[in-house]
Amino acid sequence: MKKILSFATILFLTFEATGCSLLTVRHEPKDIIISNEKREDLDGSKTIKEKMYLQYQQWKDTKYARGGLSKKGIDCSGLVYVTYLEKLGIELPRSTKLQSQVGKEIKRSELRSGDLVFFKISVKVRHVGIYIENGKFLHASTKEGVTISSLSDYYWKNKYWHSRRVDIESSLSFNVFWQST
């Protein structure tokens, strides 16, 4: 009985430790797909920052669920995936690992609304969020669910790994062009 309990405990801890970094992958890192569905205000009348706050308002009561993609539960890379798709019309890879390879790496000092921010939580666990403004980022926390945190918070400041920028502006221009032809 102790062996079964120990095995179950190890299995559970292994799944918990992987976080959202080892989920099923839908696309290679360079395959960013521009979606024609679920577009909201892609003509630019709302800023990216406003779209991120709107996404927070729409998802703020959603709990964390590893592998989740709905309002019943969502994980960090799922929130990034859904946010980019719904608010920007861009389909990113589904996993944190592949999201950490899209776009171009940028310095922390160059962050602007919509940039992806990545954290090393432990040796194997990675976390991702979307930068909003003034050191704040939108993400799905394992404890708080969908929330906005500060890069300078005690927990996050020492776990910061790197940031990446997906070319949102040209994607939005591309979307508007294709919608008008």
Question: Is 27 a catalytic site residue?
Answer: no
Backbone angles phi, psi at 174, to 5 degrees: -60, -45
What does the block give as tokens for 89?
């019309």
How many whole angstroms separate alpha carbon 52 and alpha carbon 57? 9
Give catalytic status of residue 76 as yes or no. yes
Q: Identify the sign of the CA torsion 70, 76, 81, 82.
A: positive
Is-contact 97 22, C-beta < 8 A? yes
**Which residues is 64 bridged to in the sheet?**
74
162 assigned to active site:
no
The residues annotated as belonging to the active site are 76, 127, 139
